[in-house]
Amino acid sequence: MSFVLVGAGPTGVELAGSLAELRNHILTRDYPDLQKEHMKVYLVDFLPKVLGPFSDEGSAAAKRFLVDMGVEVLLNVKVESYDGEEIKFEGGKTIKTKNVIWSAGVMGVVPEGLSKDVIERGNRISVDSINRIKGFENVFAIGDVAAMISEETPKGHPGVAQVAIQQGKLVGQNLIKLINGEPTEPFVYNDKGSLATIGRNKAIADLGKIKFQGFFAWLIWMFVHLISLLGFRNKVIVFINWISNYLANNGGARIIIRRFKPEELPKKDEQVAKAD
């Protein structure tokens, strides 16, 4: 039983870590006839490092955490095809699996009526400094679908929630100014930092010049997500659930599998003989 995650960004890293923890702590409890070795977790990416937008220190720490958890990290690998049974990569490498999770990003759907001249890489729509689509006076685009190309952002802004939130607020303010005939304000992204959790006591925090990895970064990640929840009651319930899951080391996540006869794993003597 193999799981292949394509894309080593925050989504892929967090999913790989979650699956690895499920295998390491849940699998044998729920299915005593299975062993951890029966479940393989692969994380593959075309880029040379995991968590590409993060710092080199954060990227290296994330890879180390994943490897320690038993995830097989394959970098500089490009997917060639997948037929539902086997995923093939350029260079000839293949992995037999029925579980492929795409976490390498999405491509926007271009609305009808837009010229190809305003479409950037990934089907993102080219916008000016106030998120107005180039060539239009009253059509705007924000977030993932918008590509604000400039000297400071030659590839546009990252496709994260904070960009969309900040752009949405500014567009609302600029619309009022346009109606009133007042000058508009250009968008300037306030990067509040990047967070990614890999697993229990393992996370990456890049907060400007301040960088953390490991347990303290994990606490920061939990705090940020907790205060982001709406309502005091929701915060308390989630906090209690987190504490109970942490102490029990047994989250609520479960997997459903079909009945099957697991393949016999090679004995230690056979593994040594093959290695020799």
Contact in structure between 23 and 36 (CB atoms under 8 Å): yes
Amino acid at 151: E
210: left (phi over 0), alpha (psi -120 to 50) or beta: beta
Q: How many of the other CB atoms lie within 10 Å of CB of 89? A: 19
DSSP secondary-structure letter at 140?
B
Helix (H) or strand (E) holding 13: helix 10-21
Q: Which residue has the tokens 């929701």?
A: 234
Angle, CA of 187, 191 and 196, to the nearest 5°: 140
Contact in structure between 113 and 167 (CB atoms under 8 Å): no
CB within 8 Å of 93: residues ≥ 6 apart: 74, 77
Cα dihedral 261, 35, 248, 15, rounded to 10, equals -90
- 185 as an active site residue: the answer is no
Contact in structure between 114 and 125 (CB atoms under 8 Å): yes
Q: Which residue in 29, 34, 41, 15 sits closest to 248, CA to CA?
A: 29
Single out the catalytic residue among 14, 85, 112, 263: 14
How far apart are the C-alpha atoms of 184 and 140, rounded to whole Å?
14
How far apart are the C-alpha atoms of 46 and 10, rounded to whole Å?
15
Backbone angles phi, psi at 203, to 5 degrees: -155, 165
Active-site residue numbers? 14
